[in-house]
Structure 1
Amino acid sequence: DGGWGWFSGWGETSSPYFTALVVHGLLLSRQCQLPVPPQVLQRGLEWLQAYQQETLRCLQLPPKQYRHKPHADDLDALVFQVLAVAREEQYYQEHMAALLFRDKKHLSPYSKALFALAEWERLQLPGTQESSAPQTQRLQELLRNLRQFVQSDDENQTAWLNLGPGNFWWCWHGDEIETQAAFLKLLCRTGEGQGELSRGLVKYLLHNRKHGKYWRSTRSTAAVLEAFSVFLEASGEGRSELEVELLLNGRTLAQERYSPQNIFTARNRFLVPAEDLPPGEQVLKIRKNGSGPLYFNAYLQYFSQQDFIPAAGLEVKVQRGTYRLIREDEQSSTAAAGGRAQSVRRERYRRELLPPRAVVQSGELLEIEMLLESKNDYEYMLLEDHKAACCEALELRSGYGDNSLNAYQEFRDDRVAMFIPLLPRGKHTLSYRLRVEASGEFSALPTKLTGFYAPELQANAEEQKISVESE
């Protein structure tokens, strides 16, 4: 019938969702001047058009009539957007656009971005007066609606749409990555490809790859790559030609030329060995000649002899709090056999936060609480808390502890290691307990948080000094 379903089999019917995906890919192929069977694309567009006509009929039925549809939904926005990409007048349905705009409160942010992209496509048809067209008014309103979800991190130079806890992340129209990609594409289409918001979205999407290579699925990866292609075209960065020179203390270290022809083969990593860094101040300069921006990161690895090591971190951060546990048991009554009241003592502790240089007594019970802050969603993180030599963990058996991150805990002689499979964006806490067993002056080295497969992703808490007095 011209459409596509989930798989080919007896009784299988065409799906508007899968048909929209395939037709969208065929339209992109045609835009890239790749060979596309015209009859296959034509039949797919006609199937989507027929589906949209039937949806319109159901939306116009009386409320109690069979097959009445109360409002336009996310799937209608997807089909509408794919038909608009064809840029042919016959596939654009003004009545459906009006209903989608009327029911926009029922659309997810992803679907609003798709709807806005469809309106932009309609404005590209010859003879359309952008200043007075209803598509322009709807497009501007949808952009305003989406901007209210924008959040940014100036320290990290990222921006994203905060979809909130009510987002249907398990549905295609609630996918966070695809939503960011659709919004980035919309900004580029509407003339904001060179703005800070677009650049922040690009960096946010780059930071939220899995294993640094791909996104959550083949579909989300394709959506991001399509958005990046539109960004490169809109910002002009895909046509950049640069000559870059690195200088250390006025001496040239390296030179490289970047162009569209060698963008994937040119050298993009430069290492300065320790022997080239004499004592004293070092000045590293990067000179750029040519059009287009230059993005760079710099990493410095060194051994510190600081007596008190401060906290550090950017993409991820960790803070360590050491608490003295003061036992304050509670007495309560509970029903015993025969219905009689029975007094029961319940173990309770009051926490007292210790300063960075604390004095404790031998035999006291301590609780270590680590506050983790992540700017993005990261996988496979290692948290290592180095214990002071005077302390021993109460728990002796390694395994999955009772914590919100489902971290696997290993209690070693000098540290407690926690293996975190997924660290979502936001703040999280992990804790464990120690007992003070020896007297003297001790130091607990900083807690470290690192990425297993991205070692440049790291943070550390500040050092802890402990003076232990004998009982």
Structure 2
Amino acid sequence: LDVISTKDLLIRPSVPRFFVAGDRVTLGAAVHNNTSQTLPVTVRVEAQGLTLESPAVQEGRLPPGGVARFEWTGVVGRVEAVDLTFYAEGGGFRDATKPTLTRPDGMIPVLRYVSLETVAAVGMLETPEPRLEIVAIPPEPEVTGGTMTLRLSPSLAATALDSLAWLEHFEYECTEQTISRFLPNIATYQALLRLNLARPDLEERLRQQVAIGLQKLYAGQHADGGWGWFTSMESDPLTTAYAVFALAQARSSGFAVAEGVIERGVAFLRRSLEAPADLPPWKANRQAFMLFAMAEAGAGDAGRIVALWEARKEHLALYARAFLAMALGRAQADHPLIPTLLNSILEQASVTATGAFWEERGLDDFNWNTDTRTSAIALLSILRLDPKNPLAFQAVRGLMAARRADRWETTQETAWALMTLTEWMVQSGELEGNYTWTARLNDQALGSGTVDPAHIQETVTLRQDIAGMLREVGNALELSRSAGPGVLYYTVHLALEEPVERIAPRSRGLTLSRQYLRLDDPCLQDRRQPCTPVTSARVGDILTVRLTLVVPRTAHHVVLEDPYPAGMEAIDPSLKTAPTVGQPPELRRVDLADPFGGYGWWGWWWFGHVALYDDRAALFAEYLPPGTYEYTYMIRAGWAGRFQVRPARAYAFYFPEIYGQTEGTLFEITR
């Protein structure tokens, strides 16, 4: 039995799921006459954030049971989102609707290409002396727009809440990011309780986030007891140690953890431990983290901790020493090795005017580590084992100086920094504040406010379009505050934009290229044939996207993102409705000695997780040996217009300074 529910006059919009600022797009709407009479109809669109180039109101006649398409062209502005409403009226009938595949608020997001993001200034005001920061805007003509954002946080609690929001809305869902999202929530939840801060709404939201995170971890645990970077990947000791640590933190904070989950994870870690004598440095560092996680879960092993230190002390990273010290503190709090471990960390601290920090001797890209992450973990070990040490406050200042806007650079840096700063907040009681503040840009008022106990957890965000700033000389940003208790933390963040067609390829350790090819291009069948890339198509055409990534040295935790033109949609081969024409998506490694195929093709999937989003394809590889990789997938042209295509980008997820990107381009779709 088929039941059809409809209206006599029905309008159905056809618009992209997103836009890029500057796109020229053709909006469409199909109007259905479901009556038995001819209807004169008036159709119109209301658009906010998009400038129409054709009349908003159009008229037509629809025969009985007929349908007609109406179109409007327009240019997308530099806005956060576009709001569209479509109307149809005729013969006494009317209908109105908005596009359905939108944000929860019914608006269509507008994306921009930010060519440069930088922290122009970061610091804290502890006294009434004013602070002058010079903010320079690059004079290059390619910079056509952008925003300066000033964030003022009156406490570490306010900073923590901002960073929690960033983690909560982080776009990818690997196991590490799932944990990094809810681990700081646990710490913040405990801080609220220990400091007697009455925030019932926040407490409930934190509990919900923890519960969601726990359920995802339960679902992601493999039969061997471990976890992989993505659920589709094999279990590995690094991710498993992080999961066990998170579950142990949840359990010790009073959250119910499913029976046997932690125990199976600990068993996996125990099976993964190796004799320390011959471990390479990266494995020794990882084993220190594993022993720390086991100790947090109540399975500490002082003998193994000491053995690892004795065998590899000269090669252990500073963060690994901190993990061993904290693990030994859990396993045997009075062990005589703890002061030795702690001193080996303290003596390596660098103290400057902006605070204390730690720098590792080398890069440990196997284990998600950076110097900022090391500084957070080192500080956490001090707070746990020597909380009265005067270096702790300097390390807090140094960690705050490493912020980038409302977060730190990676999810790992942000999670460990939040957990550490929350512990400091609890120990120091840093929640006092009673002063006023002002901010002036080029001697013009930018903002002002009052900090008191009722607003101590609230960050103030001020934005200035760079069109209103100086380009030839630096811009004077003056921050001041009155006398009184408390600290005012601030960051100044610049996001600069340029037209995508002017963006050149960049290579910083990785090289990436992108081609749009027609399905009948000979090079798709025979690599010896030259390819003929295209920059235009007709509505309904299906194209193949070819991405080529060159990895000159072994890379870890690589992400490849390929944004689509707004007028196109990726074809998901897992759907039963996906067309069978062309080639299915595939990713292969090309032998550099035989780049034209043949036996040079290696047939396994190096990227263990692939996801197709509304605006981009994303691929994730835990490990990539040196080589050249190609990924192909299909997209369909769905809407006419002239679209700005943002560069594709490949980067090391935990070391974003290692990256490669393609050029930006324009793509035209006609009917």
TM-score bucket (shorter structure): 0.3 to 0.5
Instruction: Tell me which protein shows more strand as a share of its residues.
Output: 2
What TM-score comes out, normalization by structure 2 length? 0.34
What TM-score comes out, normalization by structure 1 length? 0.46
Relative contact order, CA 8 A, sep 6+: which one is greater? 2
